[in-house]
Amino acid sequence: MISFAHPYILYLLLLVPAIVVLHAVARYSRRRRMARFGKPAILASLMPDASRYTPGLKLVLQLFAITAIIIVLARPRAGAKQEISEVEGIEVMICLDVSNSMLASSTDDPRGISRLQRAKLVLEKLFSQLKNDKVGLIVFAGDAYTQLPITSDFTSAKMFLSSISPDMVPTQGTAIGAAIEMAMTSFTPEADMQKAIIVITDGENFEDEPEAAAKEAANQGIQVDVIGLGSAKGALIPLGRDGQFLRDSDGNPVTTRLNEDMAQKIAMAGNGIYVQGSSSSVVKEVSDQLDTLSKSTLEKVTYAASAEQFPVFAWLALLFLLADTFIPERKIGWLKKINFFSK
């Protein structure tokens, strides 16, 4: 069975019939303009090298090349297999802060790795520990959005991590409470399933009451753990790569600091733990904390690696483009000596 990694790109195939229609209209318009100068038969004798067939042949080759390139971009795959097995695990929702302050350095060194990049590295390692569990991902700044519904497909979860940036959330701010509330409604409805929420943030909350949200989660039997990123010393927030920094309304550079007190209060209200994200043992501490939750039986869906088919279409596109390059618009000299329609 053939599937596509990016099936929405196939909508670009609608360009093919559109190009055919435009070409037909252009040819018709050309014939009408030429008819103003005389009879077609007489005009044809004045253009002995003009070919009636090669423009159409070149158009066909170009359309085949466009079609092949679109299929390459959609990444066709074949041979995908899905295996379902029963394992013992829990459900974990990740709430990842993507506000602009997460672009600041995660250490005292202003040139250090950003908090967001550090969070991605931590999550990649954590996902490797949660092999038999289910995981979901929520990103938040001034508002919260579900990036990945609860799933056992950790391959997809890791793929989503690479594309996360502050641009994903149009409203800036830090609504930790909204993220926790969304996470509470994102789990599966099984009552006996153990659930946990992991909040990864610098703790600078300006929008709501995260402690109340964490306490409500704890009342529902959901553990809330917090990973804090940044330093108490603070760091500037870079904008782009031209050395500019975020400034306030008075034109002064904005310094963002890790609010450990807020992060610890959220974890305490959620019956969880607080871990400093720069610690070398952050993954182990969070993993050990999750292991304190009792495991439940859940279905794990495993997808076997599919055989990528796009190289075939890439080669076809290259062949069509090469053929189009070597076929001229005019008549081909050596073909003029051959009479294909003689008896």
pLDDT tens sequence across 43-73: 556 555 566 667 788 889 999 999 999 999 9
Cβ-contact 155, 124 below 8 angstroms? no
User: Residues 40, 102: one domain?
Assistant: no
User: Residues 129, 73: one domain?
Assistant: no
Confidence category of residue 135, pLDDT binned at 50, 70, 90: very high
**Residues 6 or more apart whose Cβ sits within 8 Å of residue 341:** none
User: Residues 139, 114: one domain?
Assistant: yes
Cβ-contact 123, 138 below 8 angstroms? no
Statement: residue 248 has pLDDT above 60: yes
User: Residues 270, 325: one domain?
Assistant: no
Residue 341 included in any domain: no
Among 64, 95, 91, 109, which residue's Cα sits nearest to residue 230? 109
Residue 267 included in any domain: yes
What is the model's pLDDT at position 343? 53
Among 288, 181, 123, which residue's Cα sits nearest to residue 115? 123
Look up residue 178 and give its DSSP letter: H
User: Residues 120, 179: one domain?
Assistant: yes
Residue 329 included in any domain: yes
Task: Kindly report the CATH number assigned to the domain that includes residue 96.
Answer: 3.40.50.410
The SS3 assignment for 4 reads strand
User: Residues 160, 227: one domain?
Assistant: yes
Task: Tell me the residue range of the domain where 99 lies.
Answer: 82-301
Residue 340 included in any domain: no
Number of domains into which the chain is organized: 2
Q: How far apart are CA 317 and CA 221, in angstroms?
A: 56
User: Residues 249, 154: one domain?
Assistant: yes
User: Residues 103, 144: one domain?
Assistant: yes
User: Residues 286, 312: one domain?
Assistant: no
Across 133-142, 194-203, 229-238, least confident range:
229-238
**Residues 6 or more apart whose Cβ sits within 8 Å of residue 164:** 96, 98, 116, 120, 139, 147
Residue 342 included in any domain: no
User: Residues 93, 69: one domain?
Assistant: no
Cβ-contact 4, 74 below 8 angstroms? yes
Residue 343 included in any domain: no
Q: What are phi and psi of 196, to 5 degrees?
A: -145, 150
User: Residues 127, 94: one domain?
Assistant: yes
User: Residues 211, 121: one domain?
Assistant: yes
Residue 142 included in any domain: yes
Counting Cβ atoms within 10 Å, is residue 40 exposed (0-12), middle (13-18) or buried (19+)? exposed
Q: How far apart are CA 182 and CA 144, in angstroms?
A: 7
Confidence category of residue 159, pLDDT binned at 50, 70, 90: confident
Distances in Å between the alpha carbon of 286 and those of 266, 273, 283, 295, 336? 15, 8, 5, 16, 78
**In terms of pLDDT, which residue wins out, 303 or 246?**
246
